[in-house]
A and B are shown apart, each in its own frame.
Chain A
Amino acid sequence: MAEEMNGKPYVRPITSEWIFRHPRYLRYMTREFSCLFIGGYTLLLIAGLKSLSEGRAAYDAFLEALKSPASIVFQVVALAFAAYHSVTWFALTPKALPLQLGEEFVSDGAISGAHYVVWAVLSLGIWVLAGAF
């Protein structure tokens, strides 16, 4: 008998199985995982800056490299992850930045909506600066 009992509270081991227990955990891991691509893209931009500082030829080579199929695949995937990352964070903004006007809180939609508006305006500004129009 004595060997068969534990005698104290049982502590269950933590395994990585939790990620698959509910879609919310997968969504969360995807959001975290998306950082890698956003980080990767940032490195890419730095590499671009570096090549720019090294003169015309280096910069042209960099631009040429961007057109390679591998690079295009990477950029599309990075864009998708960046969009996912932004959307999931914007969806969470009402929690972090609640705004109370009088008695009522501003609706969640309005707060995340405002973030989308700011996002759009900033993007537009960058395009204008970059001479897109």
Chain B
Amino acid sequence: MGERQVELEVLRYNPETDREPHFQRYSVACREEWVVLDALNHVKETLDPTLSYRWSCHMAVCGSCGMMVNGEPKLACKTFLRNYHGVIRVEPLRHFPIERDLVTVIDDFVAKLTRVKPYLIPKEPKSVEAGEYRQTPAQLKRYKQFTLCINCMLCYAACPEYGLIPDYLGPAALSLAHRYNQDSRDGGRGERQEELASKEGVWECSFVGACSEVCPEHVDPAAAIQQVKIRSTLDWYQEHLMPWLKK
């Protein structure tokens, strides 16, 4: 595998010196097998130490390096240069304020995640001495996929609803809530429902499906959201048409 000269066009913004963002072009000698993150690191080491971006694991699990590559939300550490020709345009994730260069402000997501109670609310509390809860492989599989979210926020950058309606809880927060709802050990669905079925919850979703298409971990948030919608609808029918079923 050889070297290749890659043209990177990176959106730059420094609130202390700029009024608004602008593109900066870098010509980088890259190895054929590199990912976009390697190219950025090379820029930072050899051409421009002022370029700012987040990264850590380089194995698509820490979720730091989400950015727009040629208009698509991607993890820079898993986006191979070999799949791109011509100028590669790198921008911070859409729909988030730009803190600096490729670094975005993600407070909104963190706050929303906290709101949906993404933790186990045990159905039957148990002491550590009493050992583990039993959970069959089938019960595990029921929610496993939704545990794989790395909070990289590519889904928020892909979701037009989130762009248009910033109050929307969004794909990752909703699917993490659904992850606990689906867990055989959990009994907290009722508590989470207040947020999930609220105006900013699942009903903002019009099922574009972009979140699932861009998810690097194949979590399928769109599926989670539709499943919550169905459960919420059933709840409504039960409450209004069959009130006697309520304990």
Contacts and interface: CB of A to CB of B under 8 A. Distances in A.
Are chains A and B touching in the complex at the 8 Å CB cutoff?
yes
Contacts of B226: 92, 95-96
A98 B19 contact: no
A22 B98 CA distance: 22
A6 B18 contact: yes
A10 B213 contact: no
A18 interface: yes
Contact of A25 (B16, B21, B208): B208
Contacts of B43: none
Contacts of B17: 1, 4-5
Q: How large is the interface on A (under 10, 10 to 19, 20 to 34, 35 or more residues)?
A: 20 to 34
Contacts of A8: 15
Interface string A6-40: 11111110100011011011001000100000000
A5 B18 contact: yes
Given A9-B105, A96-B227, A24 B208 contact: yes
Nearest to B104: A9
Contacts, number: 84
Contacts of A10: 13, 15, 20-21, 97-98
B187 interface: no
B38 interface: no
B98 A92 contact: no
Contacts of A1: 17
B9 interface: no
B60 to A, nearest CB: 21
A100 interface: yes
Contacts of B16: 5, 7
Interface in B221-237: 222-223, 226-227, 229-230
A103 B140 CA distance: 9
Contacts of B15: 5-10
Contact of B227 (A32, A98, A104): A98
A32 B213 contact: no
B137 A22 contact: no
Given A5-B17, A25-B160, 20 more contacts: A4-B19, A6-B15, A6-B18, A10-B15, A10-B97, A11-B97, A12-B21, A12-B98, A14-B164, A24-B210, A24-B213, A25-B210, A28-B208, A32-B206, A92-B226, A95-B222, A95-B223, A96-B223, A100-B138, A100-B141
27 contacts: A1-B17, A5-B16, A5-B17, A5-B19, A7-B16, A8-B15, A9-B99, A10-B21, A10-B98, A14-B163, A14-B164, A19-B160, A24-B210, A24-B213, A25-B160, A25-B210, A28-B209, A94-B223, A95-B223, A95-B226, A95-B227, A96-B230, A98-B223, A100-B141, A102-B138, A103-B137, A103-B141
Interface of A: 1, 3-12, 14, 18-19, 21-22, 24-25, 28, 32, 92, 94-98, 100, 102-105
